[in-house]
Chain A
Amino acid sequence: MHNFQFVKPTTVADAVAALEHDGAQALSGGQTLIPTMKQRLAAPEVLVSLTGIDAMKGVCKGDGGLHIGAATPHAVVAREAAAYYPALAHLAGHIGDPAVRSRGTIGGSLANNDPSACYPSAVLASDAVVVTNKRQIAADDYFQGLFSTALQLGEIITEIRFPIPERAAYVKFDQPASRFALVGVFVAKFAGGVRVAVTGAGEEGVFRWKEAEAALSAGFHMAAIEDLAPPKQRMIGDLHGTPEYRAQMVKVMTKRAVGAA
């Protein structure tokens, strides 16, 4: 790994200032970035750790939902969100393995937007708001394709605000070696309708399966999507599964999520 200057600010303002250096890169839990740096696929000159910023940590019930600091590790979300949003806590408690969950953070996951990561599905299905040092971004605007987001250079996610649905569940068919989602589906039923977000499957990353949303908004039961065609999005094909397999699994996982919600 190439060497770099390591800085660990304690305020968002100091972190934003540190990220203005050429070649600066934000580091959250590092569970993706550090392996990437070892491979020399990333070689920042300045690494700005966000894990020393207390204002970016914690889970609390706020106006209109659950507010989670972006630097909150998965293990803490799993524990502290359980009373408010069990489906989200369950998702957080099944990312990677216990040691990964000690370090990996929700903000880091969302900033990276891996097409097989779990959290993007929860954010999109919950219609959550991604709060940064500059603005608030609706989930529908935030995710912009493979490893792409609405974040601008130097912009830091500080908090995620989740509306809490009436019923919800996340069901993941995990790739057993990596424990990433081969296909993961998050279903959230609100008074105004149902949202279904799919991760692990789409070539452009997380997406909403709108046909299923319409069917489930009309009747929230497993049979409601029985006759639907699989989603039309282009699916990932790799050694773990063909695009056709993944498309079918989206339907299976959606049904299971509805059953579990």
Chain B
Amino acid sequence: MTKVSMTVNGKAVSRETEGRTLLVQFLRDGMGLTGTHVGCDTSQCGACVVHVDGVPVKSCTVFAADVAGGHVTTIEGMANADGTMGRLQQAFQDCHGLQCGFCTPGMVMSAAALLAVNPTPTEAEIRAGLEGNICRCTGYHNIVRAVMQASGQASAAVAAE
């Protein structure tokens, strides 16, 4: 066991950690931040996406020790300071961009990473940006609409794929 320290959603944390501990285990089991989901555990589905130093990563495919010292943002860090939903989260609700909700944390984190570098993406850019996130309920139509809305763009015209 070695001590791994990092900043999660703005708070400094430090835990005794095995080498094999994945970032997602550090967050879920270690810190109780269960908003980040494990879907496939094989880096296919994207339910576990979080941000490390501002870029999206699949937290099931990164060792916690490898991001020691880093700044991690999870879905829990996406809410407003008063606990209400952030703009992107609200857009997912408004546009019904989810059904069972299991993939949603990863979808929101990937979408947020996209908007950070491309504030007004086209529909095609949104679909490319969410390529690593799989939803098995709804298809992607309303998710794309939600990202359009969150980026201040008209979302009615999004074509079903």
Contact = CB atoms under 8 A, between A and B. Distances in A.
A100 B66 contact: no
Contact of A6 (B43, B49, B65, B133): B65
Nearest to B19: A6
Nearest to B18: A3
Interface stretch (B56-64, B71-79, B86-94): B56-64
B19 A31 contact: no
Contacts of B62: 30, 34, 103
B55 interface: yes
A5 B61 contact: no
A75 B55 contact: yes
Contact of B110 (A27, A98, A179): A98
A149 interface: no
B123 interface: no
A34 B22 CA distance: 9
Majority SS of interface residues in chain B? mixed
Nearest to A102: B55
B84 interface: no
Nearest to B131: A97
Contacts, number: 75
Contacts of B18: 3
Contacts of B133: 97
A186 to B, nearest CB: 21
A31 B42 CA distance: 9
Contact of B65 (A2, A8, A34, A97): A8
Nearest to A46: B19
Contacts of A34: 22, 43, 61-63
B57 A99 contact: yes
A51 interface: yes
B19 A99 contact: no
B132 interface: yes
Instruction: Count chain A CB atoms within 10 A of each CB in B22, B49, B56 and give the residue with the most.
Output: B56
Contacts of A102: 52, 55-57
B114 interface: yes
Interface of A: 1-6, 8, 27, 30-31, 34-35, 37-38, 47, 49, 51, 75, 96-100, 102-103, 177-179
22 contacts: A3-B19, A4-B19, A6-B2, A6-B63, A6-B65, A30-B61, A30-B63, A30-B66, A31-B43, A34-B43, A35-B43, A47-B63, A75-B55, A96-B132, A97-B131, A98-B110, A99-B46, A100-B43, A100-B58, A102-B55, A103-B57, A177-B44
